[in-house]
Each structure stands twice: as structure tokens, then as C-alpha cells.
Structure 1
């Protein structure tokens, strides 16, 4: 996860009053945090300099100064590489329809371009090799990631490759059924939750030697450390405080589309022939089904 997401996670999930106050102040003043002295932040959050140092150390830094340096650098990078559209709140109550159209368009284009910049050719080729040779492919993600996974599974099915997606509550069953000759695609934005099903299956997959392809946010997390190959989501969104996952969903879908396309391209002619043949069969079935349904409707109307 990015540092700002780790701050939010620390404040929301693991924080009491002190952590919450510090985390909320950092999130509110993120672009101007460098202007405050440690004493001014302690006063504003009704805490102490020692509490700020502890907060920084809990995030893996030696102290507040080291945390502040890393945080400011991250914010400068974000502000210099992207427009001023807030991915968490890309529109307001006062936004016109045209404003919303333009903001969402720009946000999604930025998300795809950012994701493309993060894609590394070598791991991509190796991940496709893994998908090709795997006996079975399992895809794990909680909603809405599972819905994006279903689009990927449908595309793969159109060229004869089955991707298993468990319903919530059965993640462990599928994970336990996979072997080292299979592979798992695990989608998790934070990549750190051991209590959610996507995190709980990691020990099962690792214990069975199942290679993992991870789709997760940038920065170190549990999923990334467990995966053989990792693809980074464009991760400027906060974990919780946002209208929706506009940029994240677009980024995940783009990664899955790239994986499918690279897989398809390995046997382009054979896959294209199969895809066209399947489409023709489905179209023929549709043509025979619709007249039958119309006839059935007519019988019911005159029955």
C-alpha cells in the first residue's frame, strides 16, 4: 500500500483516540503537512510528540522526521504526475453533469495510463507462461473484485479455458483443492487483511505450493510477499473514505484484460478460430431460441 493508505488503515482499523486523531490530521493536511512542526501537530491532535513518534514507528519508520520525509515525497510525486482530480471525491454536490462526465473520464484514463506504466514485461510474460501450463486456474477476490474476475473468466472461457471463481464462503474449499500444478490469481487492494477470505487463503495456497499471481496496490503487503508474480493497481484511492472505487476497478480490469490478451496472443490463430466458432454457435442458438420464445408468447396470449 501507499503510505497514505497505511496511515488511513492505522487510523481506522487499529486506532483508538490517539491514532485516530493523528491519522485524520495527516489525511486532512496531507499536501501541507510539511508546514507543521511536530509540536504544532501534537497540539492540533491533542496528543504529544512522543505519540507522533510512536505512530511513525508503528508504520516502520525510525521516527517522525523519517516518516514526514517519506510522506512529503510521496505527495509531491502524486501531485506532479497526476491532475488535480481527487480519485476519492472526483465530483461534489455542486458538480454539473458535464463536470461529472469530464472528471470521471479523466480519472479513468489516468488510472489506465498509470497502471500501464507500472506493468513490467518480464513478470507479465512469466505470469502468462504460468497460466498456460497450469492444470487449473482459481481466481479469488471479494466483491467488486470478484465481478471483475468474472469478466476475465468469461473471456477465458470463450477460448476454452476454465477459470474457477468461488463464491464467498467457499474460498477455502477451492484453495484446498488447488495443487502445485495449478495457479491462483488473488485480487486484493490492500493485500494485508488476514481476516478476510482473500488473506486467509494465502497460508493454504503457500502450504500446497500453489503459485500465486497477485493483483494489489503498490508498496509492501502480505499478498505481495506471498506471490510469485505481482501486478500493481493504480492505488491513489483511500481504503475507506471515498465515493466509490472508480480508478481501482478500472485499473484491475485493465490488468486482467492485458493478461487475457497476452494469453490469447500466444496461440493467436487457434484462439481466434475457436472464438469465432463459439460466437457462431451462440448466434445460431440465439436465432433458434428467439423464434421459439416468440411462438410460446403467442400461444400464451391466445391460450
Structure 2
């Protein structure tokens, strides 16, 4: 049952809760990008009414309500759109392939944005800024995106640790403490090493930022913060991870940009100054 259907079937609502439900059902897409106070003002109810409704829906917060709404829209719209798993056909011309991939990329970015909780992004950005050490745990092809994030952060003088081998990942987790923050990339929580790493991080009381899909992931219970990827692709049965790769890249770029933006002028000057130093060495 999607969240809109569940909301429509609620009973024992107060008058204000009923007004809020009616407003959400009529303006559900706009809700995703509004703050709680903006929703309350538009619906002429209190912010407390919003949280009471969220509780009656069995959700943990407004961020989860927005994610549920975004997931519902994707499910409804996906059926009439391009196949994420098989966006190219044997009969397609090169130009048709390019058009189909363009659709996949556009939908992926829209979905990634829709799954983003503005309040959670603020919290994650704050935690990254507070951390003395940022560690990124991932595997396979996703390591390229983690390494790119490491490179971006190094350009502004922030060192990021990206352990690659299984043993080194577990060792890095074992060496972590409360001054570390761990970014863990796991689409569905299937990797054995990732499971072991997350448990070690939990035991060491390290805050975990989990980048995951909307699909069921057993690692969610260990994460303090969750960022969601576009989740329309099948994990195995597909031509390639066109959507997931782009979504992960956009999330890493977002984290870098949030960090950069906290001290914009300082980071910009640091980056430019270092490039000037390097160019002098080449002359």
C-alpha cells in the first residue's frame, strides 16, 4: 500500500489532521520540497499537527514522509516510462541509444533529488564538518566514485580515507572512534565485508552515514544518517548500472558541495592558490 492510499484510509483523525491530509493529497508533489513550517502555514494547521499525522502513519519523521511520497510518485510514473534495466534494445540506432540514456539520466537526477531530505542533508553536512577523520567504505566499481570524492576533498585540504581491500576496510573500522564519521555505500546490504565493517563501526560508536537504495537494507538499523539513491534498477537483471552510478556520483558531489559551501571563500582561495603553486612548478 503506497503512502497516499494509506493516508486516505486513516480514521480517527482530528479536524485539523483531516484538513492536513486533504492538503497533502491535493499538493503531494509540492510537499517534498517544503519545510514543516511551510506545510503548516499552507494548510492552516500547526507544525504539531504534522508530527501527529506522521506518527499515525507509523513513520519516524517528516523526512520519511517525503521519501515515501517520492517513492510513490516514482512507482506510479515508472510504468509508463522507459525501462531502467533495459533502456537499450538490439534494434536501437546509436542516436536512439543516446536518447534513451538521456531519459534515464534525467529521471535519475529527479529521483535522487526527490529522495533527499533537506533536514537530513543539514545534519550530515554538520557531522562531516565536525569529524576529524572521514572514512568511506564501499566496494567494486563504486570505489571510483569514492576516490573521486576523496580527490575533490583533497583539493580543499581535507583528507578522506578510502580503504579498498577487505582486510584494510576492517582494520580501518577497528581503528575508528567517535572522532571519525563513516560514509558507507551499500545499495542493498548484501556484501559480507560491508556487514562486518558496519558492525565494527557500531561497536566503536562511530556515526554512520549510509548511502543506500529505497529497497530493504538490513544495515539501515546501524546508520545514524541515511541518504537515498535512485532505486528503480534491478540489482542483477539489467544491462548496466546506468542509473545507480549517476545517482551515487550526484550524492558524493552533493556532500562535497555542502562541505565546500560552509566556508566558500576560504575553500575557493585554497584551491586556486594550490593550483597556482603547482603551475609555477611546471614552468
Q: Which residue is 1:247 aligned to?
A: 243
Look up the match of 1:101: 98
Instruction: Identify which of 193, 197, 208 aligns with 1:197.
Output: 193
Q: Quick one: distance in 1 between partners of 2:109 and 2:79?
A: 12
**Inter-CA distance 92–81: structure 2 relative to 1 (3 Å threshold):** closer
Please state whether the residue corresponding to 1:201 is helix, strand or coil.
helix
CA deviation map 1:193-245 (0-9, x unaligned): 2x522222111000000000010001442222111110011010001011110
User: Does the 8 Å CA contact 2:220/2:226 hold for their aligned counterparts?
Assistant: yes
Name the residue aligned to 1:148: 145
- Going from structure 1 to structure 2, the CA distance change for 1:75 and 1:261 (only over 3 Å counts) comes to closer
Q: 8 Å contact 2:173–2:197 — kept in the other structure?
A: yes
Q: 1:276 aligns with which of 264, 272, 277?
A: 272
Q: 1:183 to 1:82 in 2, by over 3 A?
A: farther
From 250, 253, 260, the counterpart of 2:256: 260
- In the TM superposition, residue 174 of structure 1 has moved relative to its aligned partner by 0.8
d(CA) in 2 for partners of 1:86, 1:109: 13
Contact 1:88–1:241 (Cα < 8 Å) also in 2: yes
Give the Cα separation in 2 of the matches to 1:174 and 1:256: 21
After TM superposition, which residue ranges in structure 1, 4 or more long, deviate above 3 angstroms? Answer: 74-77
Are 1:177 and 2:175 an aligned pair?
yes
CA gap 1:79/1:283 in 2 versus in 1, 3 angstroms:
farther
- Deviation string 1:93-119 (CA, Å, 9 cap, x unpaired) is 111000111111110111011100111
- Structure 2, unaligned runs of 5 or more: 1-70
Which residue is 1:87 aligned to? 84
Q: Is the 8 A contact 1:138 1:164 kept in 2?
A: yes
TM-score (norm 2): 0.71
Which segments of 5 or more consecutive residues in structure 1 lack a partner in the other structure?
1-73, 289-303
> 2:256 aligns to what SS in structure 1?
helix
CA displacement 1:150-204 (0-9 Å, x = unmatched): 111110000000110011222101111111111100001112x2x5222221110
CA RMSD across the alignment: 1.7
1:136 is matched with which residue?
A: 133
Q: Is the 8 A contact 2:82 2:104 kept in 1?
A: yes
Write the distance in 2 (CA, Å) between the matches of 1:234 and 1:270.
33
How many residues are aligned here?
Answer: 212
Correspondence 1:6-21 to 2 at 5 A: none
Alpha-carbon contact 1:82-1:110 (below 8 Å) kept = no
* Partner in structure 2 of residue 186 of structure 1: 184
Q: How far did residue 79 of structure 1 move?
A: 4.2
Aligned counterparts, 1:32-111, within 5 A = 77-80=74-77, 84-111=81-108
SS in 1 for 2:237: coil
Residue 40 of structure 1: aligned partner: none
- Asked whether the equivalents of residues 74 and 111 of structure 2 are also in contact (C-alpha less than 8 Å), the reply is no
Q: What TM-score, normalized to structure 1?
A: 0.67
* 8 Å contact kept, 1:216–1:223: no
Given that 2:207 and 2:223 are in contact with CA atoms closer than 8 Å, whether structure 1 keeps it comes out as yes
Q: Does the 8 Å contact 1:215/1:233 carry over to 2?
A: yes
| Structure with larger Rg | 1
Alpha-carbon deviation of 1:278? 1.5
